[in-house]
Structure 1
């Protein structure tokens, strides 16, 4: 007898740093979460950095790639149309202890069928938890498309804006216009976001704040901590293990 297609599937793996290719399922929505470590997910919209307190919703059809920054325990829930949990698009979510345990439980017990009342109740609780969570746009680094802006984005953490313009061969006003049009940020804002998201990964890896401050261009830990809080809304300690 042929079994009905499940409404939820699960995938679990512990992976070392490097590219990660989970099972491909373009027609399924995905809730991507690492119970430990740090993930980076690239989508057409930009690059999402996911420390252990954050998950990413990716709706069906959105092309994305995953990269592990620090050894990570990954959990992915794949949901069909009947079990769609959130609207279309990508969205970073704050993972509470209850949500964490529920996601881990669902992945461990997948596949799940909404026709089973026990499974339907679990999915209903998951929907309720997700519906109340605000999105965290600060963990997104928008991706420019214009080749000049792309070239600048690869050098922006190492050069000041004037040197960056000379290297790329474009005027400052043109470069600022490109970044604003394609990322919604000035070059300086984009660089600050890039540095702070790099810092999130370093923090999750256990690097001391003083060392991270120097790596991302700050002369003192206090200056770095103030800039970090201003950009991401939380102190650096929020992302330390």
Structure 2
């Protein structure tokens, strides 16, 4: 009897909504949206994952996926290797084809030469893939800072500066700023900018027009919104969700 495989897969098309994919213990996961876009939520924060990127989820890390439109989700499960920390990575042509091929051919067994070679190539390309840092939104742990973060997520387009955001948090602005910097690596204003970016990309992936999205997240014009997206990602808003 053949032993349990070393690589498994899960391929499905999900409508808009929240998904908790199978999370077997001891297995690392690679989540790829073959079409559509998704937001992956983990205890430490969220990652917006556009087409052209994937999420590597370390084994044992609880997570769920939120989609705003029909999404072709391709999950690859690997054991017996260390894929590193949970992160979003850019998926270039070769890595994308390797992931899709591995998903289609799984289950894979490392004692089969072709299976072992495919799994090894996937792991090498994942290790070499560059991170997509602008789409990462880490959550602060400090209670006051977390209240500010949750206020931003509830209404990314809320007008007013950092002083207003910190009111009612239970700490002074200087304390909140320090906690954000220590625990997320971002100041409050930059963190809100990324939160607005994530909310905007979700809305664009859903099909909302850029002009409406710009207004909803606090930008006076679509051009100002487009400049923000290009400054963060290096390309236009619509290119981010194609």
**TM-score normalised according to structure 2 size:** 0.90
Residue in 1 aligned with 2:214? 213
Unmatched segments (≥5 aa) in structure 1: none
Residue 221 of structure 2 corresponds to residue 225 of structure 1: no
Q: Distance in 1 between matches of 2:131 and 2:163?
A: 35
CA contact (8 A) 1:30 1:60 kept: yes
Q: CA deviation at 1:180?
A: 1.4
Residue in 2 aligned with 1:240? 241
Q: CA deviation at 1:235?
A: 2.2
Q: Secondary structure at the match of 1:135?
A: coil
Change over 3 Å in CA distance of 1:91–1:176 after alignment to 2: same
Q: Distance in 1 between matches of 2:231 and 2:39?
A: 22
Residue 2 of structure 2 corresponds to residue 3 of structure 1: yes
CA contact (8 A) 1:85 1:130 kept: no
Q: Distance in 1 between matches of 2:46 and 2:59?
A: 18
Q: CA deviation at 1:68?
A: 2.1
CA contact (8 A) 1:39 1:68 kept: yes
CA RMSD of aligned residues (A): 1.8
Q: Distance in 2 between matches of 1:18 and 1:146?
A: 29
Q: Distance in 2 between matches of 1:177 and 1:122?
A: 46
Q: Distance in 2 between matches of 1:172 and 1:72?
A: 40
Residue in 2 aligned with 1:122? 118
String of CA shifts for 1:31-82, please: whole Å, max 9, x gaps.
111111222112233111111211011122222222223221111110011x
CA contact (8 A) 2:7 2:119 kept: no
Q: Distance in 1 between matches of 2:126 and 2:45?
A: 22
Q: Secondary structure at the match of 1:167?
A: coil
CA contact (8 A) 2:95 2:122 kept: yes
Residue in 2 aligned with 1:107? 103
Residue in 1 aligned with 2:186? 185
**TM-score normalised according to structure 1 size:** 0.90
CA contact (8 A) 1:55 1:95 kept: yes
Residue 151 of structure 2 corresponds to residue 152 of structure 1: no
CA contact (8 A) 1:206 1:240 kept: no
CA contact (8 A) 2:68 2:203 kept: no
Residue in 1 aligned with 2:77? 78
Change over 3 Å in CA distance of 1:132–1:169 after alignment to 2: closer
